Structure 1
Amino acid sequence: MDEASEVNGGRSGSALPLETSFPLEGDDSRIAQARHVATAFLVKARDHAGVPVAQATVEIVQLIVSELVTNVRKYAPGPALLTLRIQETLLTIELWDSSPVVPAAKAPNPERVGQHGMEIVAALAQTLTVEPTSGGKRITAHVALDGGGS
């Protein structure tokens, strides 16, 4: 994705893609593009920088990104920014959007159709935080790169 901006940092002389960001403006095709950006980022970290990224982590991150970006496209008109950051053995998924409305996971209800996104993210991430910011909110999820701890 040429719209994703990547910041490289060094670790033992290797060029590790420590961070990438992807603007989320436009139509719903950004959901699939955001999943692609997340997958490409993790594969590059694994294959080119030697970061231990489990295949299960890639799949978990695809689902988390999909749920978060879907919520942004549905409920937060205006600009948004997805940022992925690797720190040691942890991936931080951060989504900033311009809506001040703070989402919350609803109580489990197998009869409810839809609105399970935050429940899914909370179940898959090691930690999940939502914080208001000036001009919107930031949702941050942490995922272990080795597939453990979720």
Structure 2
Amino acid sequence: MVRRPVLSAATFVGDEPVAEARDTARRFLTEVQAVHGIPVSVRAMGMVELVVSELVTNAYKYAPGPCLLDLEVSDGAVAISVWDTDPTLPVARAADPGRIGQHGLEIVMAVCSSFEVRREPVGKRTKATVTLADDPGGHPAGRLL
């Protein structure tokens, strides 16, 4: 039996959409477990909320207008995609233990099994993938050591 992907899409406009985006991700993964029977580890739930928070924060902070959040579960992972209106691609900054803030991209890249950013005809899309099940003794992001 071929399992179809489980999808969710949400648009955020206006003041402080970050908490609403995190809630959307939490509700989506809770439904993925309850309705579709797909296991989601506690680690994955927390990592997805963190990644959604960081990506939507960047969209809210640096891009005028709305941002779109797409979540798709397939093949044991959730793909988190955030579109915004700013075509400028983010760049992870060099490590600096004295720097306060601006570590979001570094964090996202560390906890995800994949990460990519691409320009679109309008704006850009940032996509990150989080593995849903824990790998005993493996890398926390689900990557091979």
- TM-score normalised to structure 2 length: 0.89
Structure 1 residue 18: Cα displacement? 0.6
Q: Which runs of 4+ in 1 moved over 6 A?
A: none
Instruction: Flag structure 1 segments of 5+ consecutive residues without an equivalent.
Output: 1-9
Out of 54, 60, 80, which is 1:67 matched to? 54
Which secondary structure state, in structure 2, belongs to the residue aligned with residue 99 of structure 1? coil
Corresponding residue for residue 58 of structure 1: 45
Report the count of equivalent residues.
Answer: 136
Which secondary structure state, in structure 1, belongs to the residue aligned with residue 125 of structure 2? strand
Corresponding residue for residue 25 of structure 1: 13
Cα deviations by residue, 1:30-60 (Å, 9 ceiling, x for unpaired)? 1001000001100111122110111110000
Corresponding residue for residue 4 of structure 1: none
CA distance in 2 between partners of 1:17 and 1:136 (Å): 26
Determine if contact 1:54/1:147 at 8 Å carries over to the other structure: yes
CA distance in 2 between partners of 1:102 and 1:147 (Å): 31
Instruction: Flag structure 2 segments of 5+ consecutive residues without an equivalent.
Output: none
Quick one: structure 1 residues 139 and 68, their matched pair in 2 at CA, closer, same or farther if it must change by over 3 Å?
same
Cα deviations by residue, 1:62-89 (Å, 9 ceiling, x for unpaired)? 1101111111111011121010001120
The letter of the residue matching 1:19 is L
Higher strand share: 1
Which secondary structure state, in structure 1, belongs to the residue aligned with residue 79 of structure 2? strand
CA distance in 2 between partners of 1:120 and 1:76 (Å): 20
